[in-house]
Amino acid sequence: MKPLLRSALPIAFVLTALCGFAQRTDTLAHGVARHVLILPSVYMSSSAEWSIADMHALSPGSTLLGRDLSAYSLVHGRSFSAAPSVNGSIALGIKHHSTSASGPLLRVGFGFTSGINSNASLRNETRTPYDTLTSAQTGHATYIDSVVTSTYDVRHTYQRVALDASLIYCKQIGQRWTLYGGIGAWAGMAFNGETTVEHSVARGQQPVVGTIDTQNPSEGRNRDAMEREVIHTANSFVSGVYVPIGISWRIARDNAFLRLFHLTYEMRPTLGFGGVPELNTMMQGGVSQSFGVRMDLH
């Protein structure tokens, strides 16, 4: 319960501020729908560095990780991940009876993100003498080792669906350009969590350090059949705050239909909370890069 409360605090704070602003202006009851916005996105987020205990927490009941892995070293995964996302919202004017394209707007909508992920590995390398190559011209000896690398890769993914609200201020420039920025928050559910554990063994030959290039142990290398298991993880509450910054360009000025549509780019620096209950509340920084279409309704 405590991780859930900690995750809810940021979203509650921002939503309270947004509602308070709307009530102070006494205009929500008179809000006019201004536009609909659809933004396909790529959400790039930082990935937390796991400990071995984290790997076990994300893989309860794992047969593969239940083996004796005391000789293995932890290898951290990528420091960030990228996941496809889509956001949709409707914007409400919150200035009483105003029809100006510039001014504050309250946006409410939804977001869906698929494939948010993080990973780490356990690796062990065993070397045994294999052969000696002697140059016929110089007599120089190159010692070759047989290298066996055993790797346990652990990867966790989940999907996220959320409702969001943001308060933005728009500034129209000329007849076709609009700049905007503001503050927003979202809250929802992380679901379809899966931890994939894969064990592979690669065998090959590699020159001993100091003889020739030893950076790539790929000579004669082959990978044995891989063991794999998938473990489902719990759903959880997630929340976050973000700063929407964007620019829109009206497609046409004179055509009555086409002038309703705007090509829109938006960036959202984001601070998220939750998503992986097995690791308690996890704070995660990220940024969403979006390019989509806005359609005016007013």
Identify which has the larger pLDDT, 143 or 179: 179
Angle in degrees, CA 223, 225, 231, rounded to 5: 115
Q: Residue 4: is its pLDDT beyond 60? A: no
204 within domain boundaries: yes
Q: How confident is the model at residue 16 (pLDDT cuts 50, 70, 90)?
A: low
Mean pLDDT lowest among 78-87, 108-117, 140-149: 140-149
Is residue 112 situated within a structural domain? no
Q: Does residue 208 fall inside a structural domain? A: yes
Q: How many residues does the chain have?
A: 298
Which pLDDT band, with edges at 50, 70 and 90, does 26 fall under?
very low
Structure tokens at 271: 């601070």
What mean pLDDT comes out for the span 35-57?
A: 90
Which is more confidently placed, 239 or 284?
239
pLDDT higher for 137 or 88? 88
**Predicted confidence (pLDDT) per residue in 182-191, tens digit:** 999 999 999 9
Q: What per-residue confidence (pLDDT) applies to 5?
A: 47
Residue 105 lies in a domain: no
> How many domains would you assign to the chain?
1
Whole-number pLDDT of residue 7: 45
The verdict on residue 217 lying in a domain is yes
With respect to residue 104, please indicate whether it lies within any of the assigned structural domains.
no
Decide if 59 contacts 154 (C-beta within 8 A): yes
Enclosing domain of residue 214: 2-93+118-291
81 vs 249, which has greater pLDDT?
Answer: 249
175 backbone φψ class: left, alpha, beta (φ>0; ψ -120 to 50): alpha
Q: What is the pLDDT of residue 101?
A: 67
Pick from 11, 78, 3, 88: nearest CA to 44 = 78
Task: Quote the CA–CA distance of 63 and 58 in Å, as a whole number.
Answer: 13
Is residue 197 included in any domain, yes or no? yes
Q: Which of 140, 148, 240 is nearest to 200 (CA)?
A: 148
| Residues ≥6 apart with Cβ < 8 Å to 254 | none
Going by pLDDT thresholds of 50, 70 and 90, the confidence category of residue 31 is low
Domain-located, residue 103? no
pLDDT of residue 139: 60
Q: How confident is the model at residue 3 (pLDDT cuts 50, 70, 90)?
A: very low
pLDDT level of residue 209 (50, 70, 90 thresholds): low
